[in-house]
Amino acid sequence: MYISITGLKPKGILGFFKFWQLAIPSFRQAQTAKGNLFCEVKRINGYQCTLTAWNDRNTMLEFMRSGIHLKAMKSFHKIATGKTYGFESESIPNWSDAFELLETNGKQY
């Protein structure tokens, strides 16, 4: 199974509104995406975080490169900063472990 963790902070007031305009439909898209096994959001240390589990990396990439999520990715640098981290795992980490992995191993944007 492929685990994907994101932690994002909106940039400024305009970024905040644009972020949520894209984040909510992107999360809904993830919840119903083919191959999605788990999907949760949580605010941690000022970051809006997502924790998702997928059948495999390719299934996650199909989701990532489609629909409203693709639109959100194209707008990302204008509206938010943060980190992402993905990895293969036999289990879904709890939120505490997931955020630690993101902080330690995540790619900064």
Digit-coded pLDDT (tens) for 67-102:
999 999 999 999 999 999 999 999 999 999 999 999
Rounded to an integer, the average pLDDT of 11-17 is 95
> Smallest Cα–Cα separation from 50: which of 103, 88, 2, 3?
3
Q: What is the pLDDT of residue 90?
A: 98
Enter the pTM of the model: 0.94
Total number of domains in the chain: 1
Question: pLDDT tier at 9 (50, 70, 90 boundaries)?
Answer: very high
As given in the structure block, the two tokens for residue 101 are 């992995």
Q: What is the pLDDT of residue 68?
A: 96
Question: pLDDT tier at 44 (50, 70, 90 boundaries)?
Answer: very high
Residue 7: which CATH number? 3.30.70.100
Q: Residue 107 is inside which H or E element, if any?
A: strand 107-108
The chain-wide mean pLDDT, for the chain, equals: 97
Q: What is the pLDDT of residue 77?
A: 92
Bridge pairing between strands 80-88 and 107-108: antiparallel
Q: Rounded to whole angstroms, how far apart are CA atoms 62 and 44?
A: 27
Give the distance, in angstroms, between the CA of residue 86 and the centroid of all CA atoms in the same chain.
10
Percent of the chain with pLDDT over 90: 99
Rounded to an integer, the average pLDDT of 14-28 is 96
Residue type, 33: A
Domain that holds residue 21: 2-108
